[in-house]
Amino acid sequence: MDQTSGHRKIALEEHFMTPDFVDYWSKTAINISPGLFGKVRDVLEDFGELRLAGMDRNNIEKSVLSLAGPGVQAEPNTATALRMARICNDFLAEQINNQPERYAGFAHLALQDPLEAANELERCVKQLGFCGAMINGQTNGAYLDDDRFSVVWERASDLDVPIYIHPNNPPDVPYMYHNHPELFGPVWSWTVETGNHALRILFSGVFDRFPKAKLILGHMGETLPYQLWRFDSRWLISNRGNMTLDMKPSDYFKRNIYATTAGVCSDEPLRCAVDAMGPDRVLFSSDYPFEKIDEAGSWIDGATLSDEERDMVCYRNAKALLRL
């Protein structure tokens, strides 16, 4: 760690790959050119020198690792999805055991069978020591506000672990992206898709039924922190009178929702997220290796935060939320 510089950090959206899962990934890695795909694969499959050197350069003490999506959420056969999710989690547990000081893990779940997904989450947390789960968007068109997933929210609440919703493509290509392939993917549609997923959960009352539920969003909260006042102002007149919530929409962002800096290295949205949600709700991440870890590290070290806020965002919030 002799080259370490910068503030101490924990990173939450850090990805890996293993050969068994490349087929799932490649089917939906439509935004990565074939040449880049091969290069990224090598980096994703490394759990040693390369990954640890990047962490050391940026004083990232611990990375919480997750499979690069969508993984088994793209598997048509439910039994196969369940079996492969266990293989993925056992593989990750092995990697964490090799470097227990440096790595932690988010469970990979086959949501095609919500009860078995909840059971697997419990196994991962209780037996493998994982910190929660990462969900890659919709599964066969179903989002986490669907009643069938109550068992997953209930189990995550009982285990007191967060669910991180990572972007994925929607089940179809909405007409609004017609003739604009550049908008379909990380530039814009992932933000719309994932922000919408979170709002479906919020407005369906999941956080009223499970007040202890914890939801993490990447990309500085997928633009939602910018919109809190408007959610509060407009939702009652837009819901056609048959929806109730225990609190204002913005209150859930301060009680149930967290945002990571994954994929956004920019002071203005960081300040917006910290000011709108609270300094205890925003957590550093680099989205390794899809974004540049050195850029993320040096940016957060110099970002417009007080010393107290920087230690919370870079380190203490993750330690508390994930009980590391």
Binding site for Mn ion (CB under 5 A): 13, 287
Per DSSP, the three-state class of 195 is helix
List beta partners, residue 135. 165
- Considering the complex, what minimum distance in angstroms separates the CB of residue 262 from Mn ion? 6
Report the C-alpha gap between 200 and 184 in whole angstroms. Answer: 20
Q: Between 106 and 143, whose beta carbon lies closer to Mn ion?
A: 106
Closest CB to Mn ion among 31 and 196? 31
Look at the chain and count its residues: 324
Task: Select which of 42, 287, 301, 311 is catalytic.
Answer: 287
Closer to Mn ion by Cβ: residue 186 or 278: 186
Side chain identity at residue 13, one-letter code: E
Which residues does 93 contact at the CB level (< 8 Å), separation at least 6?
Answer: 105, 124, 128, 129, 130
Identity of the residue, 31 or 150, whose beta carbon is nearer to Mn ion in the bound complex: 31
SS3 278: coil
Q: What is the 8-class DSSP label of residue 129?
A: -
Residue nearest to Mn ion (CB): 287
Least CB distance from residue 235 to Mn ion, whole Å? 29
Other beta carbons less than 10 A from residue 88's beta carbon:
26
Are the C-beta atoms of 7 and 61 separated by less than 8 Å? no
Q: What does the CA dihedral 25, 142, 197, 184 come to, rounded to 10 degrees? A: 50
Shortest separation between residue 65's beta carbon and Mn ion, angstroms:
11
Residue 250 or residue 261: which is nearer to Mn ion going by CB? 261
Question: Is residue 294 among the annotated active site residues?
Answer: no
Residue 179 backbone phi and psi in degrees, to 5 = 65, 15
Minimum distance from residue 127 beta carbon to Mn ion (Å): 26
Task: Report in angstroms how near the CB of residue 141 gets to Mn ion at its nearest.
Answer: 22
Q: Alpha carbon of 126 to those of 102, 144, 152, 155, 232: distances in Å? A: 19, 23, 15, 12, 38
- CA 159, distance to chain mean position in Å, is 18
Report the catalytic residues.
287
